[in-house]
Structure 1
Amino acid sequence: MIIAFLIAIIGIIPIVLAISALKLYKGSELAIPLLLYMVSISFWQLDIAVLYLQDTFSEELILWLFKLFRAGPTFLVPLVYYLSYIIIKKHSAFSKSKIVNRVLFSIYNKYVLVCLLIWSTMIYVINLTELGISGLQVIKVAGSNTSIYFPEYGPLQFLYIIHIVSFILFFAVSYLISKGFQNQFFREFIATFFFCSFFLFITGLLNFIPGSGALFSSLGIIIFSVIIIFSFVKMNTVMTVNYNRLLERQKKLDYTGNLTGSLVHEVKNSLVIIKGYSKLLSELTALPSQGKKMNEMIQTAAEQIDNLTVNYTKYIEHKSIEYKLTDLNETIDRAIKLTAELTSEHAIDVYFERKFKTLKVYLNETNMKQVFINLIKNSTEAIPPERTNRNITIKTNIDADKIVIDVIDTGKGIQFECWEAIFDPFISYKEGGSGLGLPYVKKVIFEHRGEINVIESSPEGTHFQITLPQFAFSDF
């Protein structure tokens, strides 16, 4: 009786810790699934505890309780799958491979989850009959005088074994999946969770070896619960700190926005002077042809800055930006032309591979042009001076109702852990960078109902991909 009580108390530890974590982090998507997982672990421990009640309850009642609490290990399979499903649904979009993402979504979806729940329920129902567990037998724990009940299994016990094998399989797959997440703290928590769960599972299986007793699972429960809850609290604490940092950055952005409003006014005053003198230069008859071309570029750049300031002023006043149906090819061409001097200075070739004569997109041309100017500028700065292959390739394509733009450079690459962070304001990984270029790009793309992501990056180069909605048919 005392041993059963101690095992049951240890079994309650996971639930207590999970409830505490749930109260601390109500907003976490993993809090409730984690609680259900801990409840199943506790049921598994209680399933073992009832076997020590030989002198307390009747054999029939102990057998019934054993079958009842076996719901814990039985439904751990769909719970592990559910946890993996939530994780993949939230984070697989950042996987390096599109093929991997498609495979994961084909394996992890609601339909498979429902089928797994039905299968687990069927296994549990069989467990309640003599086909699963036919009865109990009395055995002695090795190295002691303690006697416990041990289950006698029925002819369909092999189905339960298959069920448990799938449990191990989900552990292995989920652990491998977690290796591909960009968020370092989330990745570490998931890896720890599945590794410790596998350890707990092994210690739990040892209890079903006749004569081994409950020492292994009790020890496994304590180690598992402490490590998992500690990792969960650590992950959420770090994420909360990072969220607060983002709030601070947003405050800086708000302040910067107010400051920029004043700066725009001064820039426009300077632009009036630049455009005025540029116009006078173009009227000089003695100006050589090369000088006229340079002056045209000055006028074009000044016009781009002027349009940006007009857009920003309108946005401040009306909180809106004007969009019109535009050929994206022409916008990209103009961005390449504006950055030609920069790329030429760094001996970089820019290739624009277009599959369509026109790509009709509703956009604000000035802002979208600035997006490609920023991307070309960043790619140019990312290519080391000693690199022989010095290319920036821009490709356009259509995928269903979306226009896909790939920007590929031969730069030094971006670390996988930084693929998300580079789009956060005031974060820069290059010397002298302000950390505002890519956040601006992300913001403009978002305003155009599109997305931008890093698809691949290595020391040989980086591949950015932009997707924009297609509102009209494009010409081949």
Structure 2
Amino acid sequence: MIVGLLICAIGLIPILLAFSVNKIYKKSNLTLGITLLMVIISGWQQGIGVLYFTSLLDEQSAFWLFRIFRFAPTFSVPATFFVAYSTINSFSVTLKNDSILNRVVNYIFTKKMLISLIVWTSIVYFISWTDLGMKGLETRSISKSAIEFYFPVYGEWAALYVFHMASLIIFLLFLYYISTKISNTNIRSFLKHFSIYTLFLFLLGMFNFNPETGIIMGSLGVIIFAIMVMFEFIKLNAIIEFNYYQLSERQKKLDFTGNFVGSLIHEMKNTSTIIIGFSKLIMEDKELTKSQQDALDMIRKATDQLEQLATNYNEYIIHSKMSFRTENIVSIIRDSIELSSEFTKQNHIDIEFIDSYKSLKAFVNKSYLQQVFINLIKNSSEATPPGREERKITILTNLNEDYIVIDFFDTGKGIPESDWDHIFDPFVSSKGDGTGMGLPFVKKIIFEHRGDIVVVDSTSLGTHFKILIPQLGSDI
């Protein structure tokens, strides 16, 4: 009985850690997944502990409790899958330079697959309540020891349960493999360690089939797994919070810049008003030639356009007003490509838009989002070296759960990895005549749309940007 109490006490470690951390970090699918998995691991350990209560429980009572706790190891398979699924989908994981594997990942880590796995696991668990799964318990003792325990007598379909648990080991090996190809270093580290520690736990858990070693190895696996996985989870959340803090600081910097630019816009509008006033006075001169009148008319139109642009930017920067409505992202991208056509022709840049959807609807501001794509096209065109043979921009659209994913590839000279984050800071530019406000503007607009833009990869042959925008609806 003392052994059983010790095993049950060790089993409380995962659940105590999970609920403690759950109070600290915000609710998310990943937090829920980790908590559920820790509860399940705890339940698994409690089920093992029940088998050592030979002096307290009769065989029938112990067998009934053991079958209830059998829920934990059986459903550890979908629980583990849910953690991986939540991580990959919450952070829109992309694998480096492997389009086929990306498609495989997008096919496997879906809600339908999760539901299918839960249904299958329920069937396996139901069978364990029949004689086909387990027939009962028998009393055994550890050699050269007075410790007695119950050990399950498995039925004819016990191999089905073994197959079910073995499939988890195969899945964890696959998860480890794809984790090595994830672009994001933080997510790569978390999934890699999670798969290693979980695999370690379940391999040690297999020793439970051996009554001589299960008591030690299983408990050891639970302790190591609970501590190390929670450490990785806390580390990932700490990094996310730090990145959020950096984003907030960057946002403050942009707000300060906006106030400064707002003052400049105010002075620019005053100057444009003077230009328009004197243009009208000059236009009244009847001795002006036709070419002079045309020139003045062009000045007036350009000044009107400048004043309208200043009004729009002033409204956004100073008042932070941005109207949203349901728009088709596909149409916005096509319009942006068309508006950039003159610039791309001058730079001999080809644009390929690969779209698998008739429409991708989202709640956005069309004009500002359009400017985002124009800025990216312009930057990519200018980043392409003059002597490069392949001069191309490729835009791909896709869906990832609740987000529209826009992948933007160019054949430019690339961005050093150390600058991937800094390029979104104001006044940072690699161009001699650049203001360093293009990409910060892009980041701010996407941020206002509750999305994000990141550099996925960049080499001397080109750069890959990924844009995420919350999806409203789509028609395939």
Q: TM-score range by the shorter chain?
A: 0.7 to 0.9
Aligned to 2:201: 200
Aligned to 1:319: 321
Equivalent runs, 1:86-97 vs 2, <5 Å: 86-92=86-92, 94-95=94-95
Aligned to 1:257: 258
Equivalent runs, 1:175-190 vs 2, <5 Å: 175-190=176-191
Q: Distance in 2 between matches of 1:188 and 1:201?
A: 20
- 236-245 or 214-223, which moves further after superposition? 236-245
Aligned to 1:123: 124
Please report the TM-score for the alignment, with normalisation by the length of structure 2: 0.74
- Stretches of structure 2 that go unaligned for 5 or more consecutive residues are 283-287, 290-297, 355-360, 472-476
Report the secondary structure of 2:412's partner residue. coil
For residues 457 and 302 of structure 1, do their structure 2 counterparts lie closer, same or farther at Cα, with a shift above 3 Å needed?
farther
Report the secondary structure of 2:349's partner residue. strand
1:6 equivalent to 2:27? Answer no
Alpha-carbon distance, 1:74 to partner: 0.5
8 A contact 2:67–2:129 mirrored in 1:
yes
Kindly provide the amino acid, as one letter, of the partner of residue 63 in structure 1: F
Kindly provide the amino acid, as one letter, of the partner of residue 226 in structure 1: I
Aligned to 1:291: none
Kindly provide the amino acid, as one letter, of the partner of residue 142 in structure 2: V
User: How many corresponding residue pairs?
Assistant: 447
Equivalent runs, 1:324-335 vs 2, <5 Å: 332=337, 335=340
Aligned to 2:441: 440
Alpha-carbon distance, 1:376 to partner: 4.7
Aligned to 2:249: 248
Kindly provide the amino acid, as one letter, of the partner of residue 76 in structure 1: S
> What are the superposed Cα offsets for residues 326-354 of structure 1, whole Å, 9 maximum, x if unpaired?
998786566464688xx7xxxx6333579
8 A contact 1:338–1:373 mirrored in 2:
no
Q: Distance in 1 between matches of 2:397 and 2:33?
A: 40
Q: Distance in 2 between matches of 1:64 and 1:380?
A: 70
Kindly provide the amino acid, as one letter, of the partner of residue 17 in structure 2: L
For residues 384 and 303 of structure 1, do their structure 2 counterparts lie closer, same or farther at Cα, with a shift above 3 Å needed?
farther
For residues 86 and 393 of structure 1, do their structure 2 counterparts lie closer, same or farther at Cα, with a shift above 3 Å needed?
closer
Aligned to 1:83: 83
> What are the superposed Cα offsets for residues 187-209 of structure 1, whole Å, 9 maximum, x if unpaired?
32232222111101111111212
8 A contact 2:332–2:370 mirrored in 1:
no
Q: Distance in 2 between matches of 1:41 and 1:439?
A: 45
8 A contact 2:93–2:184 mirrored in 1:
no
For residues 11 and 415 of structure 1, do their structure 2 counterparts lie closer, same or farther at Cα, with a shift above 3 Å needed?
farther
Equivalent runs, 1:60-71 vs 2, <5 Å: 60-71=60-71
8 A contact 2:352–2:392 mirrored in 1:
no
Q: Distance in 2 between matches of 1:392 and 1:303?
A: 35
Q: Distance in 2 between matches of 1:226 and 1:364?
A: 46
8 A contact 2:352–2:394 mirrored in 1:
yes
For residues 64 and 19 of structure 1, do their structure 2 counterparts lie closer, same or farther at Cα, with a shift above 3 Å needed?
same
Q: Distance in 1 between matches of 2:64 and 2:225?
A: 28
Q: Distance in 2 between matches of 1:416 and 1:73?
A: 43
Q: Distance in 2 between matches of 1:467 and 1:300?
A: 37
Report the secondary structure of 1:41's partner residue. helix
Equivalent runs, 1:217-366 vs 2, <5 Å: 217-268=218-269, 307-315=308-316, 316=318, 319=321, 332=337, 335=340, 337=342, 349-351=348-350
Report the secondary structure of 2:91's partner residue. helix
8 A contact 1:339–1:373 mirrored in 2:
no
- 167-176 or 459-468, which moves further after superposition? 459-468
8 A contact 2:457–2:465 mirrored in 1:
yes
For residues 82 and 409 of structure 1, do their structure 2 counterparts lie closer, same or farther at Cα, with a shift above 3 Å needed?
closer
For residues 368 and 2 of structure 1, do their structure 2 counterparts lie closer, same or farther at Cα, with a shift above 3 Å needed?
closer
Report the secondary structure of 2:51's partner residue. helix
Alpha-carbon distance, 1:37 to partner: 0.7
8 A contact 2:405–2:468 mirrored in 1:
yes
Q: Distance in 2 between matches of 1:300 and 1:422?
A: 37
For residues 164 and 300 of structure 1, do their structure 2 counterparts lie closer, same or farther at Cα, with a shift above 3 Å needed?
farther
Q: Distance in 2 between matches of 1:275 and 1:338?
A: 29
Q: Distance in 2 between matches of 1:15 and 1:46?
A: 11
Q: Distance in 1 between matches of 2:109 and 2:397?
A: 29
For residues 367 and 57 of structure 1, do their structure 2 counterparts lie closer, same or farther at Cα, with a shift above 3 Å needed?
closer
Alpha-carbon distance, 1:303 to partner: 8.0
8 A contact 1:308–1:366 mirrored in 2:
no
Please report the TM-score for the alignment, with normalisation by the length of structure 1: 0.74
Q: Distance in 2 between matches of 1:215 and 1:37?
A: 21
8 A contact 2:333–2:373 mirrored in 1:
no
8 A contact 1:7–1:218 mirrored in 2:
yes
1:108 equivalent to 2:109? Answer yes
Alpha-carbon distance, 1:5 to partner: 1.0
Q: Distance in 2 between matches of 1:330 and 1:275?
A: 31
CA RMSD of aligned residues (A): 5.0
- Stretches of structure 1 that go unaligned for 5 or more consecutive residues are 286-296, 356-360, 470-476
